Amino acid sequence: MSRIITKISSFSKISAVMVCVALIGYVGYLVVAHYRGQVALQESQRRQLIQEFDRRASAAGYFFSAQTNALKELADAREIAIYFENQALGMSLEYGLNASLAAIQELLDKFAQKNSLGRHPVYSRVLLLSPDGHPLALSGARDGPGDKTDWSRFVRRDARKYFLTDTHRGGARIIISLPCIFKERLIGQIIGIMPLSLVYTHFVGNQEGSPEVVALTMDERYLFLPPEQRLPPPLQTTPPHLTPGVLTPLKIAGKPYGELLATKTDIGGTPLSIINFIPAGKFDIDHPRRILIATAVMAMAILTGMVLVFILNTRNAILKTRLEEASLREREAEEVNRTLERRVQEEIKKRREKELIILHNEKLASIGQLAAGVAHEINNPMGFITSNLQTLTGYFSAMGSFIQAQRTALEQTAPAELNQQLAATEEKLDIPYILEDGADLVVESLDGAKRVARIVRDLRSFSRIDAPEYEEADLTTCLVNALNIVAEELSHVATVIKELTPLPPISCHPGELNQVFMNLLRNAGQAITPPGTITLKSRHDDKFIFVTVGDDGHGIPDSILDRIYEPFFTTKDVGKGTGLGLSVTRDIVTKHGGEIMVESSNQGTTFTIKLPRNSESMPAKNVENKGGVI
């Protein structure tokens, strides 16, 4: 028995040690996985930060490239060439050169006024310098009689562009210098001067409250740093050996500063760079290591404690084995429960995501199928209503014939007194009127049923708005279908005049074009003060089909005419429009290879849709349709 107990005790100890080691290994695996996850997260944050800096530098580079091109066009302007041509001909200031200089001055002023960022002009000055540095013409206000700016220091003797910097009245400026070439020789320079604070604010600077410090540099020296952003004394000069796209740690002596991370991003096409200084605390590199070390120490302490417990409790081996087995089973059960709970939560999350996706897809599909369902449900009862009304027409005719025959027979065979009683009863019940009016009511009901059937047919044409296939369709039919849908809405405000000509069929998406026409018709109706007129026209030539929707409303103001296709832009009251109608309309027309044009005045507005007749300009078929009903 003692041998059995000893074996059980030894087996229990070995098993417990193995379980302990396995648990420690599992904990170590979790810690390492967490460590790797933290490291990957920090690396992802770094990449995002570098991408943000690259985006700012790209935006600034694009801005400087655009301004350089604009100044190049200014340097090649005809007005400047005329001045130097007149000068070459020996013309004096009194006999023409002054007029040429006035034209150049006007050109520079217009150029300076046209270029702006937000509400601020890009250039504080634009100058035309002679080869000796004398300003021939300049835009912007002069500094007064005391203006002693030495413009000759901006003159360059070669035909290249230059980026220069200086300070003026305490403010840093950047100068773009481009040559003026006349008959293959350098005759002067165009100088564009812009404040660095404007460039910094729009392209480089951070949002308020950001701990990052961003500086604009050139040739390894700071050009611009806002007063509210300060750098520690060791960084009063730009740090050397900064690699673009890499966060370089900088150790700053002194408690208030500690460690910073710096990265340099070059602005393409210019000698300018952006240096970003970030507190190292934003990327706590040692944090995952501390977790790893603390957990390892904890695991070693647990292992040591268990070994000591095993040594001190050898006499209670069986009880200890049982307790350890129970404890192990409990831990395993808890682990299994946690694993199962985690899996259940993951499965529930996945199912919820799938349900949301399915619900979203069903909502999108139901928008396109709603009209089809309504049309189908109405169409079935309308079939037997129409059939019954037609049958009832025959019944009324048969009843009228029967009553007439009965009346004739009674007049010939029945006593006069009985005929008089029947005639009085017939007159009292108003039988002739009932027969005549009943037949008219049936005819009117049949006409109404036909109108309902036509509306159902038009609704069914709209139910195909989400169909991905393109097909041959007649735009006149699409236009009439759209008009039928909004006819009741338009009947209260306008008279619709149709000047439609037969159109050749084209390959298109009829449901989407129905939506285009319906949007234009509704907009026309909403723009009219009753009573008004809406005119629909269609025509075609050898290459294109034209559909025109015009109204005699109040028109679109010139100030907003360029914005009517912007998404969510609307002039309607809150709750009466989303601002997506014309945006979606233009997208659909463009998708069909066409274009939409608008003409507006205070006498009304006319929209013209131009679509190609052939399929070469059309998009490929079976393209996924992401449009919707608005």
Task: Evaluate if residue 427 carries a pLDDT over 60.
Answer: yes
> What is the CATH architecture assignment of 465-612?
2-Layer Sandwich (3.30)
Q: Binning pLDDT at 50, 70 and 90, where does residue 525 land?
A: confident
* Mean pLDDT value across residues 50-59: 86
Q: Give the chain's largest Cα–Cα span.
A: 136
Residue ranges of the domains in the chain?
A: 1-138+156-225+242-312, 365-457, 465-612
pLDDT 10s digits, 363-404: 544 545 565 566 656 766 776 677 777 777 777 778 778 877
Report for 20-24, 232-236, 573-577, 594-598: range of highest mean pLDDT: 594-598
Q: What's the pLDDT at 364?
A: 40
Which residue did the predictor score with more confidence, 271 or 35?
271
Q: What's the pLDDT at 416?
A: 78
How many CB atoms neighbour CB 317 within 10 A? 19
CATH code of the domain occupying 1-138+156-225+242-312: 3.30.450.20
In whole angstroms, give the CA distance from residue 273 to residue 250: 18
Task: Evaluate if residue 620 carries a pLDDT over 90.
Answer: no
* Mean pLDDT value across residues 412-433: 79
Q: Binning pLDDT at 50, 70 and 90, where does residue 468 land?
A: low
Task: Evaluate if residue 559 carries a pLDDT over 90.
Answer: no
Which residue did the predictor score with more confidence, 1 or 271?
271
Task: Evaluate if residue 307 carries a pLDDT over 90.
Answer: no
Measured N-to-C along each axis, helices 98-114 and 78-88 cross at an angle, to the nearest 10 degrees, of 160
To which residue do tokens 């069909």 refer?
Answer: 592
Which residue did the predictor score with more confidence, 39 or 3?
39
In whole angstroms, give the CA distance from residue 596 to residue 546: 10
What are 525's two structure tokens?
């109706």
Which residue did the predictor score with more confidence, 104 or 141?
104
In whole angstroms, give the CA distance from residue 348 to residue 232: 52
Q: Binning pLDDT at 50, 70 and 90, where does residue 621 land?
A: very low
Q: What's the pLDDT at 544?
A: 93
pLDDT 10s digits, 355-369: 654 554 455 445 455
Contact, 193 vs 173, CB < 8 A? Answer: yes
In whole angstroms, give the CA distance from residue 486 to residue 518: 7
Which residue did the predictor score with more confidence, 163 or 80?
80
How many CB atoms neighbour CB 110 within 10 A? 13
* Mean pLDDT value across residues 46-52: 83
Distance between the two ends of the chain, CA-based, in angstroms?
86
Q: What's the pLDDT at 361?
A: 43
Which residue did the predictor score with more confidence, 463 or 276?
276
Q: Kindly report whether the global pTM for this prediction surpasses the value 0.85.
A: no
* Mean pLDDT value across residues 319-340: 84
Q: Binning pLDDT at 50, 70 and 90, where does residue 578 land?
A: low
The overall average pLDDT reported for the chain is 76
Host H or E run for residue 9: helix 2-75
* Mean pLDDT value across residues 84-104: 79
Q: What's the pLDDT at 536?
A: 93
In whole angstroms, give the CA distance from residue 331 to residue 195: 69
Contact, 90 vs 97, CB < 8 A? Answer: no
Task: Identify the three-state secondary structure at position 138.
Answer: strand
In whole angstroms, give the CA distance from residue 534 to residue 553: 9
Beta bridge partner(s), residue 222: 217
User: Would you give the distance in Å from CA 293 to the centre of its chain?
Assistant: 47
* Mean pLDDT value across residues 104-123: 86
Task: Evaluate if residue 145 carries a pLDDT over 60.
Answer: no
Query: Which contacts qualify for 430-436: CB closer than 8 Å, 24 or more apart?
Result: 431/403, 435/396, 435/399, 435/400, 435/403
Contact, 550 vs 606, CB < 8 A? Answer: yes
Q: What's the pLDDT at 564?
A: 84
* Mean pLDDT value across residues 481-503: 87
Q: What's the pLDDT at 599?
A: 92
Q: Binning pLDDT at 50, 70 and 90, where does residue 606 land?
A: very high
Q: What's the pLDDT at 538?
A: 92
pLDDT 10s digits, 241-258: 788 878 788 777 655 556
Contact, 580 vs 564, CB < 8 A? Answer: no
Task: Evaluate if residue 435 carries a pLDDT over 90.
Answer: no
Q: What's the pLDDT at 535?
A: 93
Q: What's the pLDDT at 384?
A: 66
| Residues whose CB is less than 8 angstroms from the CB of residue 417 and which lie 6 or more positions away in sequence, other chains included | none
**Strand ranges, E, within 574-625:** 595-601, 604-612
Q: What's the pLDDT at 605?
A: 93
* Mean pLDDT value across residues 152-179: 75
Q: What's the pLDDT at 548?
A: 94
SS (H, E, C) 243-258: CECCCEEEEECCCCCE
How many CB atoms neighbour CB 57 within 10 A? 22
Which residue did the predictor score with more confidence, 621 or 199?
199
